[in-house]
Amino acid sequence: MSPRPGLNSKRARSLISKRVEGISPSGIRKFFDILSTMEGAISLGVGEPDFVTPWHVSEAGIYSIEKGYTMYTSNKGLLELRQELTRYLYTRYGVEYDPETELLVTVGVSEGLDLAMRSIINPKDEVLSPDPTYVSYGPCTVLAEGVFIPIPTTVENDFKVKAADIEKRITPRTKAILLGYPNNPTGAVMERNELAEVAEVARRHDLLVVSDEIYDRLVYGVKHTCFASLPEMKERTVLLGGFSKAYAMTGWRVGYAAARHEIIEAMTKVHQYTMLCAPIVAQMAATEALRAGDAVVKEMVADYDRRRRVMLKGLNDIGLACFEPKGAFYCFPSVKVTGLSSEEFAEQLLVEEKVAVVPGSAFGECGEGYVRCCYATALSDIEEALRRMGRFVERHS
Amino acid sequence: MNKEVLKALERDARTTPEQIATQTGISMEEVEKTIEKAERDRVIVKYKTIVNWERLGEEQVQALIEVKIQPQRNVGFDAIAERIYRFPEVRSVYLVSGTYDLAVFVVGKTMQEAAAFVWQKLATLESVQGTVTHFLLKRYKEDGEILEGGGEKGRRQPLTL
Ligand SMILES: Cc1ncc(COP(=O)(O)O)c(C=O)c1O
């Protein structure tokens, strides 16, 4: 009797679920590998703040460990944190959430998004979302067995989604609209009246709206509109927010979801069985972040704004046309003058000039022809990266 | 006067008017006018560099001297403060609340030099009632800048989505 062959790689791969097999890994792996062995490279390819967490917030986390806060919290998260979130959302946006029933502390918006999708989607339900889109929206929809329907957006409309374009794609299977403004990757911000038109569509077709507002604090010269603050929208919005960007807390893994109690209850059920709770140290630090107020956030926002202006002007000066991004920390210039695809542009720029950017195609079809440049990086690096990109564009156009 | 211009220079005195204009959205002419006026009005006092001399192994001694003063009629502390701050060895002088009156920072090449200044010049002033000298052993942070250690920062992943 010959021994059973071991589990080889091909066979192992065949054991992976079809659902997960169907999701493509992120398109930047290859850049990552080149970049990590390169000396003197400047990366505009990051998606997080370059500040460290404000010290008073970190210190609150350290203090909580010293005091022995190292256990689980209630599934929904520390009540003090939920109360602070209630206060925050009310004073900032005038939306009232009950901390006991309408708020859930999550492990970042990332988990909140997954919970929201799993809680509202039945197999084949359709989710409409503006393209270019944050990379997680499609996969989270698909993992929840939904169908992801991209809604094209264009530079002519500053990458803001038009209500009419959403409405055109509504079918009997449409369940929700998934919005992410201020936007990653484009930096687009929707004005209140523009969002009100989307709200009207949601109301008319009885849809839910999942609104990822992780960048709510990072807006420049405009006001952020919380989708739930629009008339009658609190009842159909799943609001996702977090601490990663505003407080430079990406590594702490904490965020929140706010919605009507039926939805929060459903999301809590999934959260309870899959995550149990968000890390207590991060929750205590987040509580301090909200309690201590705004000065540090404003300072960081002012700093991003300076760099935003430098990058925006610099890109336009070297011939990479860029609309003015009013939020997040990205510029999304067109690279069409070079005649290169966004992926070719990113790859050749990295090899020839050692500057990393993310090809727009990683964010959907409408991202083709653009690249994402993050300005959450030192001013001197931005200036040097722009010089190198200028040389590159000159050679390639 | 446009404070954004001043703040930009306070962060980095070498920022050019053109850079300031780009960063703030203020016109170049206005940036230049603001700087001129601020220099004229001594709103901008001086442009200086923070040097970490210890890095070069340069010996430099700094001392904080607590000075207790008998204030003088009519002039209070100001006259004696002036007597003290006119010495070039004195880097900073502050009037403070608490158990002493003037906080005086003195620099010298050696500890002897700094100490000699205290006995010979400071302590002998008529209205000085007493001094306590603290030699600085290590500078951790100065003018908002962390000089040694503590400033370490984690590194971000080079690419994230
Ligand atoms: C649009 C968007 N949503 C969510 C996230 C993830 O946020 P969190 O760190 O809270 O999970 C990011 C991070 O890049 C993002 O850009």
Percent of chain A with pLDDT over 70: 99
Identify the band that residue B71 occupies on the pLDDT scale cut at 50, 70 and 90.
confident
Atom of ligand 1 nearest to the CA of A111: 11
CATH architecture, domain defined by A14-52+296-396: Alpha-Beta Complex (3.90)
Question: Ligand 1 centroid vs A244 CA: distance in angstroms?
Answer: 7
User: So what's the pLDDT on residue B149?
Assistant: 66
CB of A180 shorter than 6 A to ligand 1: yes
Q: What is the CATH number of the domain that holds B74?
A: 3.30.70.920
- Structural domain boundaries enclosing B20: 3-40
Relative to beta strand A126-131, strand A103-106 is unpaired
Give chain B's domain count.
Answer: 2
A52 to chain B: which residues are within 8 Å by CB? Answer: 153-154
pLDDT score of B27 more than 80: yes
- Which of A85-99, B45-59, B143-157 holds the top average pLDDT? A85-99
Residue B158 lies in a domain: no
pLDDT score of B151 more than 60: no
CB of A181 shorter than 6 A to ligand 1: no
Q: How far is B110 from chain A (nearest CA, A)?
A: 36
pLDDT score of A31 more than 90: no
- Tell me the average pLDDT of chain A: 96
pLDDT score of A13 more than 70: yes
Choice between A345 and B54, residue whose per-residue pLDDT is larger: A345
CATH architecture, domain defined by A56-291: 3-Layer(aba) Sandwich (3.40)
Contacts of range A135-141, beta carbons closer than 8 Å, 24 or more positions apart: A135/A26, A135/A362, A135/A363, A135/B161, A136/A110, A137/A113, A137/A178, A137/A180, A137/A212, A138/A364, A139/A23, A140/A113, A140/A114, A141/A117, A141/A178
Choice between A350 and A7, residue whose per-residue pLDDT is larger: A350
The answer to whether residues B34 and B66 belong to one domain is: no
User: So what's the pLDDT on residue A64?
Assistant: 96
CA-to-CA distance for A115 and A20, rounded, in angstroms? 17
Identify the band that residue B57 occupies on the pLDDT scale cut at 50, 70 and 90.
confident
pLDDT score of B150 more than 80: no
Give yes or no for a contact between B7 and B23, defined as CB atoms under 8 angstroms apart. no
The answer to whether residues B32 and B71 belong to one domain is: no
**pLDDT digit string, tens, across residues A284-320:** 999 999 999 889 999 999 999 999 999 999 999 999 9
Comma-separated ranges of CATH 3.90.1150.10 domains in chain A: 14-52+296-396
* A96-100, A163-167, A181-185, B53-57: the lowest-pLDDT one: B53-57
- Tell me the average pLDDT of chain B: 90
Identify the band that residue A2 occupies on the pLDDT scale cut at 50, 70 and 90.
low
Optimal mutation site among B11, B19, B26, B160, interface A, most CBs of chain A within 10 A: B160
The answer to whether residues B85 and B129 belong to one domain is: yes
Lateral strand order in the sheet of B128-135:
B90-95, B102-108, B61-69, B128-135
A307 to chain B: which residues are within 8 Å by CB? Answer: 23
Largest CA distance in chain A: 76
The answer to whether residues B26 and B61 belong to one domain is: no
The answer to whether residues B60 and B133 belong to one domain is: yes
Mean per-residue pLDDT, A141-167:
97
Residue B155 lies in a domain: no
**pLDDT digit string, tens, across residues A222-250:** 999 999 999 999 999 999 999 999 999 99
CA-to-CA distance for A94 and A241, rounded, in angstroms? 15
CA-to-CA distance for A355 and A388, rounded, in angstroms? 7
**pLDDT digit string, tens, across residues A129-151:** 999 999 999 999 999 999 999 99
User: So what's the pLDDT on residue A123?
Assistant: 97
Give yes or no for a contact between A244 and A108, defined as CB atoms under 8 angstroms apart. yes
pLDDT score of B15 more than 90: yes
pLDDT score of B26 more than 60: yes
**pLDDT digit string, tens, across residues A179-200:** 999 999 999 999 999 999 999 9
Residue B145 lies in a domain: no
